[in-house]
Structures are given as structure tokens and as C-alpha cells.
Chains A and B, each alone.
Chain A
Amino acid sequence: MTTPIELEPRSAATARVRLAAEGVRLAYDERVVVDGLDLQLTEGSFTAIVGPNGCGKSTLLRALGRLLRPTAGQVLLDGQAIAKTPTREVAKVLGLLPQTPVAPEGLTVGDLVARGRHPHQSWLRQWSRDDEAVVAEALAWTDMTELADRPVDALSGGQRQRAWISMALAQGTDLLLLDEPTTYLDLSHQIDVLELVGRLHAERGRTVVVVLHDLNLAARYAHRLVAMKDGALVASGTPDEVLTEQLLADVFDLEARVIPDPVAGTPMVVPVRRLR
């Protein structure tokens, strides 16, 4: 078994489906959060999952990342049932960044990013030249080289998120799932993180799925929006197709105007008041 060491995913001639949910039911203990959901994510797409609190969007992301096993239906990674694929093989293709990940005290940025190579390493081969080159490149690409020897816990929130994204880059996976990567960040750092994710998609060809709360940022950065309500998928398409005044009323109970974003031209939500 050869391990892919290059950072660039192979470009696909056609937009094939990389990750798919087929009729998945997701539950924590007895409580069903998502039921009978279908979703297909194609090669090279940049998808944002949006929806109100508790609609099951993070739960869906966890299932797509093999962190939660569906009680019915299945998740397919490149056509194979992800639940039957060894964890390590999944980790070479699919990377994920949990909401507010925690780094142990005292761990340096360089060592954190180096942990991204874990699925490619073995007990003997713990730090190969390839690992070193990939990690150095990931640090440089995310502008973290200067901070490589700083402890992660000494960084600001925005720098910390960059470090984690750098680790995901070093993992070298084609697919990347991010659960609310902008949580707790101020607006300029939210932009900074989403620009970085956008570059991962545009320059490195990553297939990206991101759960986002901010609709305007989701519309600006993602090419496809998936809206969820009460555990079901209610709309899917380009930001223009999904972010309509009717959908905001139906899904978010929000009366709002949707106008073109004066900077990017993407739809922009201006709230009026809460309905009901």
C-alpha cells in the first residue's frame, strides 16, 4: 500500500460524487435528530450547511466524517460504505476539524501540525522526509512558519484556528469537513479563516463541507448551500437559489430582505424581525 504524500489531490475529469448520505437516520441514544436524509457532495465542491440551532447540521457533518454511525441508511465515501472502511484509510482521504478543538497544554504549533501526518505514519516511520516536507509546506502555506515553535495555547483565537487548518492541510486529504470554524472569532478573523478555507478549495482543489451560522458569509464563500430544518434537508443549490426571503421565513422564522452583497454580488440577508 503506497501512501500518497503529495498535497495536491488528483484533478477529476468529471465531477464525480466523493461523499454521499443515503437515507441516513442519525440519533443520539433514542433521540432522532436527522431522518431519511440524502445528500451528494461532488469532487471539488465547496458546500456550506446552514440552518437554525438544533436543526442537525453538525450531527450530519459528524456522520459524514464517520464520527457518528447512522442507525439507518449509510454514508458512502467514493462509493464505499464509510462505516466498513478502516478508520486509518478514511483518515487519508477525509479530514475533519471539530468545533472548538482542544490542543493539549504546551504543545507547539509545529508539533500540532505534525500530528496531521498520523494516518500516514507507522511505528517505525514516525517522522520521514516526506512528513517533514509536507508539514513545513503546510505551515508556510497557512503563514504559520514563524509561529511553529510557539505553544498553541499561547496563540490568539484566529491564529489557533489557522494552526488547526494547517494540520488539516498536512493530513493531505482530498476532502475536508469543518464544523463552525469561525465560532468565537471576531469578524476580521472570521473572514481570515474563510479566505484560507476558500484558498484550500480554489488553490489546493480540496472538496470542502463547512457548517456555518453566518448566512452572509456562507453565501459569499461557498458555491453551494444546503439548508436544513428539523433534521431534514429543505433546500440545496447555489446561494442565489437557496437564500430567498421565503426560505428565511420558512426555515429561520425570520422576516428579511435579501439584497445583493455590494462587494461580492452574492445574496445578503438584512433581517427585519422574527416571525411568530
Chain B
Amino acid sequence: MSVQAPEREVRPVRSGRTVRIGPVSASLRWRDVVVPSVAFAALALVSAVSMGRGDFPIGVVDVLRTLVGLGEGPQEFIVLELRAPRVIVGVLVGLAFGVAGALFQTFARNPLASPDTLGITAGASAGAVAAIVLTGGTSTGAILGGLGIPLAALLGALAAGLLLFLLAWRAGIDGYRLVLVGIALWAVGNALIDFLLTRAEIYDASSAYVWITGSLNSRTWDHAVPLAIALAVLLPLSLALNRVLAVMQFGDDTARGLGVRLAGAQTAVVLLAVGLVAFAVSAAGPIAFVSLIVPQIAVRLTGGSRPPLLASGLVGALLVVGADLVTRTVLPEALPVGILTAAIGAPYLLWLLVRGRRQFT
């Protein structure tokens, strides 16, 4: 009954290399290791350079000395209090947007899914703009202590995410339905923003507009710390979903046939992605496009079958911090970072699309 045993396989079965240490085993593709490593190294370098640039230039070596506690006097104050929070918020926001985008796109099996197109950042913006316009964010902003706007944005994002989840849920979530519901929410959020802006004082409208574009200007540890705590919880949970996502990218029936509890897995993916976006947006505004394009850039760099979570996060961080550095140094005028992420990221994605044979995903 048994067919002849096949020759001992010399030829590798999988596209990755097998790694086995004790009870731990995995198949790793080298590009899934190299791309995040390179992105991490580049991120560290750009971050250090960024902390050194400004009205009072500091060399990379001195920045690193200061970061490990060997700095002195004004240098220490400038790096640790003025510049580090801005760069760290940039890193964390980029990580959150990149991972959230990869989660949404794998889940929806649709490269158009992102917090932008799904209306979550629109919800956050509507919350923040409401806080700025209705309380007079520029004049009485001090009363809110910089906490009111992030909090309003967080609530706006969570409300939009909850609506998205409830409206898209129908004995599980269908990717197309999710995107369609998201686009409707995006339209509602933007209508609300426009309504608020037309009724706003000119100063409020102007500061609201900067917020909507997404900016790292005057970020302090008050922005960085809550975001860091949130990511310390949400990022490991997201990465733990990697194995399930690898099966969820098939159709629903195949995934369930392979033993995935689909409803639970879908709920976890959407809640984690919404949470990541909500905290990131509340810290820096909806930095345009990062979540949409970064997973697509990352998947073209790693060459896998779906947006890689870790690489997407690191490429996202690199894009945000790099764009922020450019706005502060190369350009004659300090622009909000959101303008640059779109201006750099979108052409790069187009270039990858033109030269690649991959159609989408």
C-alpha cells in the first residue's frame, strides 16, 4: 500500500532557511532578516543625525555620548529635552503606522486598506479638530495642557475604529466590506472636519490644519511616554499574530480548514491595528500615507507573499524620521512632516510598482 519512500530530500522544501534551536524551530527567509536589520541600522543612524541637527548643531558622536549619559550642560539639555522626544515620537509613530498598515492589508487582502482609507485617522482628526476649534486650541490651549487634543484624537480614532468594526461585522469580517465601510466613515469624518473648519476662528483653523497634516514640531516626553507604553503592549501582541496571519491571507474557508478560529483572530487583528493607530495619531497627528505605502514598500523589499510586520514597522519609522530630518534641514522652511512622507513615499512606491512584476498585495 505504501509508495516507495522518497529519496532523502536535498532540495529545500521552503523558500526560507530552516532554523532549529532546541524545541524552537522556524523557516526564515534571509531577506526577512536582512531587510529589518538594515532598516534598523539606518533608523539608528538617521535618528542620531536628526538629534544633532538644529540651530545648535551637535555631532553624531556627541549625540550618542549624551544618550548614554556622558553628555554635559547645554548639550545634554538640547539632546535629551528638546530633540530626543521629537525623534522618539517619530520612531514610535512610524513603527505603529507601519505595523498597523501591514495588519490591515493582510487581513483585508487588499493593499488599499489602511487607517487613512478606513476612516480611522479621519475619526482621530475630527476629534482633535473639534477639541481645537470648540475650545479655542490656540488661545486656551494652555488650559488643556497639551493633553486635551491627543485625548480627543485618541477617542476619535477609537470611536471610528469601533464603528468600523461594528458596521463591517457580519458573522466575521469580509475584506471588501471592511474597505467599503471604511471609505464611508472616512467621508463622514472629513465632512465633520470641514464643517468644524468653516466655523472656526482663523488661528484655530490654521493650527487645526497643521495638526491634520501631521507634525512632530514641539513634541515632548509627554507625547512620547504614553505612546511608548501603548506600543510596549500592542507591538508584541501584533507580532505574535504573525503565524496566524500567514494562514489568514488565504480565503476564509481555507484558513478555518487549517484550524484558525477566524472570528477571534479577525477581532484581534482589527483591535490591535486600531489601537496602534489611535495612539500614534494622538501623539503626532495622522501623518499622511505612511500606513498605506510602507507595507507595500516593505513587501517589495522582502519579496514575501504578504506585508511583513516587523519590516513594515521599521521602514515606517525610517520614513517618518527621515522625512522629519529633511523638513528641518534641507527645506528652507520647516514644513509639517506629513507633507514630506507623502512626497517621498508615494514616488518611491510608484517606482517600485513600475519596475516590479508584482501586481498588488
Which chain B positions have C-beta within 8 A of A23?
A: none
Which chain B positions have C-beta within 8 A of A108?
A: 14-15
- The reply to whether A115 and B247 contact each other, CB–CB distance below 8 Å, is yes
Which chain A positions have C-beta within 8 A of B243?
A: 118, 121, 123, 126
A110-B259 contact, Cβ under 8 Å, with A98-B254, A115-B250: no
Q: Which residue of B lies closest to A65 (CB)?
A: B257
Please report the C-alpha to C-alpha distance between residue A98 and residue B109 in the assembled complex, in whole angstroms: 17
Asked if A21 CB lies within 8 Å of chain B CBs, one says no
Asked if B246 CB lies within 8 Å of chain A CBs, one says yes
Asked if B65 CB lies within 8 Å of chain A CBs, one says no
In the assembled complex, how far is the CB of residue A229 from the closest CB belonging to chain B, in whole angstroms?
25
Which chain B positions have C-beta within 8 A of A114?
A: 13-14, 27
Which of A102, A106, A137, A141 is in CB contact (< 8 Å) with B358? A106
Which chain B positions have C-beta within 8 A of A104?
A: 109, 249-250, 305-306, 361
- The reply to whether A136 and B240 contact each other, CB–CB distance below 8 Å, is no
- The reply to whether A110 and B13 contact each other, CB–CB distance below 8 Å, is yes
Which chain A positions have C-beta within 8 A of B26?
A: 126-127
Asked if B199 CB lies within 8 Å of chain A CBs, one says no
Asked if A219 CB lies within 8 Å of chain B CBs, one says no
Please report the C-alpha to C-alpha distance between residue A108 and residue B305 in the assembled complex, in whole angstroms: 8
- The reply to whether B18 and A91 contact each other, CB–CB distance below 8 Å, is no
Secondary structure of the B contact surface, majority rule:
loop
Asked if B11 CB lies within 8 Å of chain A CBs, one says yes
- The reply to whether A124 and B303 contact each other, CB–CB distance below 8 Å, is no
**Residue from B14, B20, B359 with most neighbouring chain A CB atoms (10 Å):** B14
Segment 82-136 of A: residues with Cβ below 8 Å from B: 86-92, 95-98, 101-108, 110-111, 113-116, 118-119, 121, 123-129, 131-132, 135-136
In the assembled complex, how far is the CB of residue B304 from the closest CB belonging to chain A, in whole angstroms?
7
Which chain B positions have C-beta within 8 A of A88?
A: 259, 261
How many residues belonging to A are interface residues under a CB distance threshold of 8 Å?
54
Please report the C-alpha to C-alpha distance between residue A66 and residue B360 in the assembled complex, in whole angstroms: 32
In the assembled complex, how far is the CB of residue B156 from the closest CB belonging to chain A, in whole angstroms?
33
In the assembled complex, how far is the CB of residue A193 from the closest CB belonging to chain B, in whole angstroms?
17
A126-B25 contact, Cβ under 8 Å, with A91-B258, A114-B13: yes
Please report the C-alpha to C-alpha distance between residue A87 and residue B250 in the assembled complex, in whole angstroms: 16
Give B contacts to A, CB under 8 Å: 1-3, 6, 9, 11-16, 18-20, 23-27, 109, 240, 243, 246-247, 249-251, 253-254, 256-261, 303-306, 358-361
**Would you list the 4 A-B pairs with minimal beta carbon distance, nearest first?**
A91-B259, A119-B259, A140-B6, A107-B305
Give A contacts to B, CB under 8 Å: 8, 62, 65-67, 86-92, 95-98, 101-108, 110-111, 113-116, 118-119, 121, 123-129, 131-132, 135-137, 139-141, 145, 148-149, 171, 203, 205
Given contacts A87-B261, A136-B13, A149-B12, 15 further A-B contacts (CB under 8 A): A8-B2, A67-B253, A88-B261, A91-B258, A101-B251, A101-B253, A104-B361, A105-B358, A110-B15, A118-B243, A127-B25, A129-B20, A131-B25, A132-B9, A205-B1
**17 A-B contacts (beta carbon < 8 Å):** A67-B253, A86-B261, A101-B250, A101-B253, A104-B361, A110-B13, A111-B15, A113-B13, A115-B246, A118-B246, A124-B25, A127-B26, A128-B20, A129-B20, A136-B9, A140-B6, A145-B9
